[in-house]
Chain A
Amino acid sequence: MKKIFKGRVVIGGSVSGESVVTLQGFNILASYLRSLSERNGKAICSDQNNKDLYNKDLTGKIICLPQTIGSTTGGMILQSVAELGIGPKAMLFSKHIDSLAAAGVILSYVWSNKKIVTIDQLGDEFLEFVKDGQHIEIKEDGSVIVSD
């Protein structure tokens, strides 16, 4: 079954990939801290407080989330993982993007030339529908197609 959602384009692009889903706020610093220090070419979520993502491989995935939370250094951390080539391929927000994530995807785009395609305001129904491991296709206009 396929379902199409439409959101607002923050960083536009046309990409597809595999989903990882967190229903709680995504703590950027806590999630990537270990991977930044270990530098083993993978981004394994190190946030013990995130029961949805802890220990899961986030490398090159499409992260589906409500918002990001935590330290205001979060944006810089996201840019760092993007520059290392272990950042997410895309970020899909059910709510309005927050300041940490906005900084992260913009810094990655402007300063590291790494585009993390970002769509926000996809709605609560999006997060209720999407599950880990699904194929997601994102269009330039902010359409998000989720397939089983």
Chain B
Amino acid sequence: MRQYNMILSDEEKEILDGKRGEVMRKVLESVVLYGEAFEAKRLLPIDGPVHLVTSFALTGIETVHKIMDELISAGLKTKEHFTVDPRPIDFENVECSETQKMIFNAMYKNQEKYERQLKKIGLKDDDAFTCTCYMPEVGNVPKRGQVLSWAESSAVVFANSVIGARTNRMSALIELFCGILGKVPEFGLVTDEGRRATWLIEVKTSTLPNAQVLGSAIGMKVMEDVPYIVGLDRFLGKGINEVTLDYLKDMGAASASNGAVGLYHVENITPEAIEFGRSLLVEDYRTYIIDDDEIKRVIDLYPILWNDFNAKPVMCFIGCPQLSLRQIYDWVERISSRLLKAGQNKVSINTVLCAAPDVISKFKSDSETYKKMRDMGLHLTYICPLMYMSNPECARQPIITNSNKLRTYSTARFFVDEDILDIIVRGHI
């Protein structure tokens, strides 16, 4: 066995000596080397199911299938059933041209094979494909203080901040290996010290700022650091209710994608901030003030990647990260009242709401509201809109969104919710 800096248990040493097979040795070696890259001193047991980021079998990443086959041949599985990010394709609910379909089928030609591999390794069930695994309908809901191995950035920041669980922003495959071992390296956001805030964010806006823009502003400023946010309880109240939960979900996803935030604290709202208050701040913290002018400045920074700035949008994606059940109802209600005001029955732009399969099933069980949604011309899908935009034929279309994550990683153009409502009803910008 080569020399490692990490303190290893006898069992771990045995594995690294190859006594549990070559594949298990490689699994542990990968995790130990990964931990050593971040000066981790030991491995910690994990307390809950993993959440994987790699839900898609993109042509070109066949090495992943090879590793999966090695793991399966060695009889390895995760200790608990896991969830995974959304599927890439849903032709039934997301309109595609024949050319777009052809490209999707070529891009994801190995999808079925990969999903079979996921099942053998420990996938929870056929509906376990979502970036919001922590929704009660999905059921991968950690508890405060639990140590996890999650990789999807929006889920990581939610688990750490809103729930108070502990996970680093794990990388694809490493998170799976940790799930097989039942252990993660101890560093960063898993430690008390790594969860202290190095930024004080003072929200001084006149009204509740758009969650996606606030998260974007924070992410771009602090990058991977931990912010302590004050001033939001003026608008959201103290503690967490359903509305606050959704707000924090969207704010966190934007901070994680526009920067690399893995944890934030919100004064009087998130669990660690409620318990420890401003003692979470390090001594030499920096301060960032966000007022109405700053929110406007941040929105004005977003580049428009359309060839024709005045093009009529062909599609609108709402729900990246995927919507909660409450948010689907809320969007249906808001669109409905806006249509009524405009004297219309249907939206003028193909509008797609994204949610977890289990959340969609729950919503569909309310057949009356589901019919109302369909009658307004809205579509409901389980896909990741980012994967839709990864198709070059889709990416060249003028597509709008209220998601700052989708804006960051694609050519989709960002609008705040109120503007989205106007545009999808009116049919143009």
With a cutoff of 8 Å between Cβ atoms, the chain A residues found around residue B172 in the complex are 72-76, 103
Contact between B171 and A111 (Cβ–Cβ < 8 Å)? no
Asked whether A106 and B37 contact (CB < 8 A) given A72-B152, A72-B170, the answer is yes
A residues 56-94 with Cβ under 8 Å of B? 69-77, 79-80, 83
Contact between B30 and A76 (Cβ–Cβ < 8 Å)? no
Contact between B63 and A111 (Cβ–Cβ < 8 Å)? yes
Contact between A110 and B29 (Cβ–Cβ < 8 Å)? yes
Query: Is B153 interfacial (CB-CB < 8 Å)?
Result: yes
Contact between A102 and B38 (Cβ–Cβ < 8 Å)? yes
Closest to A109 in B: B33
With a cutoff of 8 Å between Cβ atoms, the chain A residues found around residue B409 in the complex are 70-71
Asked whether A39 and B171 contact (CB < 8 A) given A71-B409, A110-B29, the answer is no
With a cutoff of 8 Å between Cβ atoms, the chain A residues found around residue B171 in the complex are 72-76, 99-100, 102-104
Stretch at the interface among B54-62, B272-280, B420-428: B54-62
Shortest distance between the CB of A28 and any CB in chain B (Å): 10
Interface size on B, residues (CB 8 A): 33
Closest to B152 in A: A72
With a cutoff of 8 Å between Cβ atoms, the chain B residues found around residue A75 in the complex are 171-174
Contact between B53 and A37 (Cβ–Cβ < 8 Å)? no
With a cutoff of 8 Å between Cβ atoms, the chain B residues found around residue A110 in the complex are 26, 29-30, 33
With a cutoff of 8 Å between Cβ atoms, the chain A residues found around residue B58 in the complex are 36-37
Q: How far is the CA of A109 from the CA of B34 in the complex (A)?
A: 11
With a cutoff of 8 Å between Cβ atoms, the chain A residues found around residue B224 in the complex are 98
With a cutoff of 8 Å between Cβ atoms, the chain A residues found around residue B33 in the complex are 106, 109-110
Query: Is B64 interfacial (CB-CB < 8 Å)?
Result: yes
1/0 per residue, CB under 8 A from B, across A106-148: the answer is 1101111000000000000000000000000000000000000
With a cutoff of 8 Å between Cβ atoms, the chain B residues found around residue A106 in the complex are 30, 33-34, 37, 174
B residues 49-81 with Cβ under 8 Å of A? 53-54, 58-64, 67, 70
Contact between A76 and B60 (Cβ–Cβ < 8 Å)? no
Query: Is A10 interfacial (CB-CB < 8 Å)?
Result: yes
Asked whether A112 and B174 contact (CB < 8 A) given A72-B152, A72-B169, the answer is no
Contact between A102 and B30 (Cβ–Cβ < 8 Å)? no
Query: Is B260 interfacial (CB-CB < 8 Å)?
Result: yes
B residues 140-183 with Cβ under 8 Å of A? 151-153, 168-174
Residue of B29, B53, B260 with most chain A CB atoms under a 10 A cut-off: B260
Residue of A37, A69, A73, A102 with most chain B CB atoms under a 10 A cut-off: A73
Query: Is A45 interfacial (CB-CB < 8 Å)?
Result: no
Contact between B37 and A97 (Cβ–Cβ < 8 Å)? yes
Contact between B173 and A103 (Cβ–Cβ < 8 Å)? yes
Q: How far is the CA of A36 from the CA of B170 in the complex (A)?
A: 23
Asked whether A112 and B173 contact (CB < 8 A) given A97-B37, A99-B168, A106-B33, the answer is no
1/0 per residue, CB under 8 A from B, across A7-20: the answer is 00010000000000
Q: How far is the CA of A44 from the CA of B332 in the complex (A)?
A: 44
Q: How far is the CA of A72 from the CA of B168 in the complex (A)?
A: 11
Q: Which of A36, A103, A104, A112 contacts B60 (CB 8 A)?
A: A36
- Interface residue SS majority, chain A: helix
With a cutoff of 8 Å between Cβ atoms, the chain B residues found around residue A103 in the complex are 34, 171-174
Contact between A80 and B173 (Cβ–Cβ < 8 Å)? no
Query: Is B44 interfacial (CB-CB < 8 Å)?
Result: no
Closest to B60 in A: A36
Closest to B61 in A: A80
With a cutoff of 8 Å between Cβ atoms, the chain A residues found around residue B240 in the complex are none
Q: Which of B30, B54, B170 contacts A107 (CB 8 A)?
A: B30
Closest to A76 in B: B172
With a cutoff of 8 Å between Cβ atoms, the chain A residues found around residue B390 in the complex are 33
Q: How far is the CA of A36 from the CA of B57 in the complex (A)?
A: 12
Q: Which of A33, A36, A76, A97 contacts B54 (CB 8 A)?
A: A76
With a cutoff of 8 Å between Cβ atoms, the chain A residues found around residue B70 in the complex are 111
With a cutoff of 8 Å between Cβ atoms, the chain A residues found around residue B26 in the complex are 110-111
Q: How far is the CA of A83 from the CA of B58 in the complex (A)?
A: 15
Q: How far is the CA of A69 from the CA of B408 in the complex (A)?
A: 12
Shortest distance between the CB of B88 and any CB in chain A (Å): 12
With a cutoff of 8 Å between Cβ atoms, the chain A residues found around residue B107 in the complex are 37
Contact between B173 and A76 (Cβ–Cβ < 8 Å)? yes
Q: Which of B53, B59, B64 contacts A72 (CB 8 A)?
A: B53
With a cutoff of 8 Å between Cβ atoms, the chain B residues found around residue A98 in the complex are 224, 260
With a cutoff of 8 Å between Cβ atoms, the chain B residues found around residue A71 in the complex are 53, 153, 409
A residues 25-45 with Cβ under 8 Å of B? 33, 36-37, 39
Q: How far is the CA of A10 from the CA of B172 in the complex (A)?
A: 19
Q: How far is the CA of A10 from the CA of B260 in the complex (A)?
A: 22
Q: How far is the CA of A111 from the CA of B60 in the complex (A)?
A: 16
Closest to B303 in A: A49
Closest to B56 in A: A73
Q: How far is the CA of A69 from the CA of B26 in the complex (A)?
A: 26
Contact between A83 and B173 (Cβ–Cβ < 8 Å)? no
25 contacts between A and B (CB under 8 A): A10-B37, A33-B390, A36-B58, A37-B107, A72-B152, A72-B171, A75-B171, A76-B54, A76-B64, A76-B172, A79-B63, A83-B63, A97-B37, A98-B224, A99-B38, A99-B168, A99-B169, A100-B171, A102-B34, A103-B173, A104-B171, A107-B174, A110-B29, A111-B26, A111-B63
- Given A102-B171, A111-B67: 11 more A-B contacts, CB < 8 Å: A36-B58, A37-B60, A74-B172, A75-B174, A76-B172, A80-B60, A83-B63, A99-B34, A99-B171, A111-B30, A112-B63
